[in-house]
């Protein structure tokens, strides 16, 4: 699918339904011309509900839907008949979608499972009919409750990619090539910055029937936390990955410094990202001999597991997958 069809952020005005009014009816029959109150309750207003769908991978279908309104509940009727509830408005989203209130920033819902349904805005309660207000001193109440108003708010939907491993690296670090080699994914690959414009997911098979999901996400640049480059769009997706594979090419001027710049961008965006498991992968290592590898190892961060690999020659691939599998299952 074309890159422009990938949408991971939308803002929609939502309004739940108003509850129906209670009825102020009185029983009128041939042999009971002045019967007591028999007004029924109003129906509740429709809810706004979000539902997970694992067949969706983008919010494109909601991009041009600026309003989502649920219907109102019907008024109560005579003979203590309750009005019909308003129809719930259900909209589907990909797994990994978070719904926030734009004004307060509060997270309202997070969809992680197929078929999962969560109420975003509750419909207003229906008003009570006049039968509820009959007393010994007031046997003919002419009062019934109005329906409760619905709730309205601007909601922001953010899609954050669900994967076991997220690839972190500068543009042209070799992330897309790695994903294409270890999985059946076919990301766009090119020798220019930001070849990858949208997240790509691939299933990596590992020793027997084991597998895990790897995400190739748009390359980061220094200042991404301030919105530079693809900035926040990239960082939003990396939040959902429990293991982060930092990919730095072997021909980098300073591998350790490049790793620290990437780590700092994550820290500036969200300090909680630093608690995730991290592995440092030295890509494009096919031209390194053992002596060069020993020299590079001395400069690498001491507490971060590392592996040299080449997507072209596929050397170091099994070691890389073993490291990732161990980190995922720790």
pLDDT tens digit string along 84-103? Answer: 999 999 999 998 899 999 99
Global pTM reads 0.71
In this structure, CATH architecture of domain 165-329: 3-Layer(aba) Sandwich (3.40)
pLDDT tens digit string along 108-140? Answer: 999 999 999 999 999 999 999 999 999 988 988
Lowest mean pLDDT among 59-63, 177-181, 187-191: 187-191
pLDDT tens digit string along 257-282? Answer: 999 998 988 888 788 888 899 999 99
User: Is the predicted pLDDT of residue 215 greater than 60, yes or no?
Assistant: yes
Average pLDDT over residues 12-20: 98
pLDDT tens digit string along 135-159? Answer: 988 988 999 999 999 999 999 999 8
Q: Strand 107-111 to strand 97-101: parallel, antiparallel, or no bridges (unpaired)?
A: antiparallel
The alpha carbon of 257 is separated from its chain's Cα centroid by a whole number of angstroms, namely 32
User: Is the predicted pLDDT of residue 208 greater than 90, yes or no?
Assistant: no
pLDDT more than 70, % of the chain: 88
Q: Which two tokens stand for residue 232?
A: 């926040």
The pLDDT assigned to 217 comes to: 76
Strand residue runs (E) in the chain: 9-15, 48-52, 67-69, 89-93, 97-101, 107-111, 117-121, 152-159, 165-168, 200-206, 210-216, 243-249, 277-283, 306-308
Sequence spans of domains, the chain: 1-159, 165-329
The alpha carbon of 230 is separated from its chain's Cα centroid by a whole number of angstroms, namely 18
Confidence of residue 189 (pLDDT cuts 50, 70, 90): very low
Q: CA torsion, points 234, 237, 243, 248, in degrees to nearest 10?
A: -10
Q: Give dist(CA 288, CA 307) in Å, integer.
A: 13
Lowest mean pLDDT among 62-66, 87-91, 168-172, 301-305: 168-172
In this structure, CATH architecture of domain 1-159: Distorted Sandwich (2.70)
Phi, psi of 156, deg, nearest 5: -110, 130
The pLDDT assigned to 33 comes to: 72
Do the two domains 1-159 and 165-329 of this chain adopt the same fold? no
Strand order in the sheet with 107-111: 67-69, 9-15, 152-159, 97-101, 107-111
- Beta-bridge mates of residue 159: 97
């Amino acid at each position: 699918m074309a890159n422009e069809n990938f949408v991971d952020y939308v803002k929609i005005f939502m309004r739940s339904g108003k509850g129906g009014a209670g009825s102020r009816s009185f029983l009128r029959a041939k042999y009971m011309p002045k019967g007591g109150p028999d007004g029924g309750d109003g129906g509740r207003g429709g809810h706004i509900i979000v539902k997970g769908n694992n067949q969706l991978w983008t919010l494109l279908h909601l991009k041009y839907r600026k309003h989502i309104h649920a219907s109102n509940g019907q008024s109560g009727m005579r003979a203590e008949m309750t009005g019909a509830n308003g129809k719930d408005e259900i909209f589907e989203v990909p797994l990994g979608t978070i719904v926030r209130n734009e004004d307060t920033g509060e997270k309202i819902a997070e969809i992680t499972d197929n078929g999962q349904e969560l109420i975003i805005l509750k419909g207003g309660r229906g008003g009570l009919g006049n039968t509820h207000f009959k007393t010994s001193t007031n046997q003919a109440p002419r009062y019934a409750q109005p329906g409760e108003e619905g709730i309205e708010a601007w909601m922001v939907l953010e899609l954050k990619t669900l994967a076991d491993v997220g690839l972190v690296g500068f543009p042209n670090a070799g992330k897309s090539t790695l994903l294409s080699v270890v999985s059946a994914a076919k990301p766009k690959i090119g020798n220019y910055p930001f070849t990858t414009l949208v997240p790509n997911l691939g299933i990596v098979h590992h020793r027997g029937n084991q597998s895990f999901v790897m995400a190739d996400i748009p390359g980061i640049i220094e200042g991404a936390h301030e919105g530079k480059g693809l900035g926040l769009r990239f960082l939003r997706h990396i939040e959902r990955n429990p293991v982060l594979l930092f990919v730095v090419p072997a021909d980098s001027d300073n591998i350790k410094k490049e790793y620290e710049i990437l780590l700092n961008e994550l820290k500036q965006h969200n300090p909680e990202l630093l608690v995730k498991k991290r592995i440092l992968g030295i890509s494009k290592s096919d031209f390194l001999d053992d002596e060069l590898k020993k020299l590079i190892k001395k400069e690498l961060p001491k507490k971060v597991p590392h592996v040299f690999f080449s997507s072209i020659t596929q050397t170091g691939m099994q070691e890389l997958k073993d490291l990732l599998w161990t980190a995922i299952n720790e």
